[in-house]
Amino acid sequence: MNLLKYFFIKLHNKGLAPEVIWIVLLVVGLAIFVVLYLSLGSKGQTTVGNLSELRVKWPWET
């Protein structure tokens, strides 16, 4: 949350209106949600169980 506040203040100091900043944050958040939804939804289900498949495997794991 502090990071979000930091970016908000940084962009606001550059002269952007708060409304523009919120729209940009919403669009970025929506884009991340869509990418995650599509990557999980391509298997036909969007359950939390699919998140375990996203785990990075170590080289010694098969």
Residue 55, in any domain of the structure: no
**Tokens (6 digits) for 27:** 């669009």
Residue 33, in any domain of the structure: yes
Range of the domain at 21: 2-41
In angstroms, the Cα distances linking 36 to 30, 39, 53, 54 are 10, 5, 13, 11
Is residue 29 a contact partner of residue 37, using CB atoms and an 8 Å limit? no
3-27 per-position pLDDT tens digit? 778 877 887 777 777 788 788 889 9
* pLDDT score, position 27: 92
Residue 57, in any domain of the structure: no
User: What are the E-state strand segments in the chain?
Assistant: none
**Tally of domains within the chain:** 1
Is residue 57 a contact partner of residue 44, using CB atoms and an 8 Å limit? no
Residue 28, in any domain of the structure: yes
Q: Which of 7-11, 28-32, 38-42 has the lowest mean pLDDT?
A: 38-42
The Cα–Cα gap between 38 and 36 comes to 5
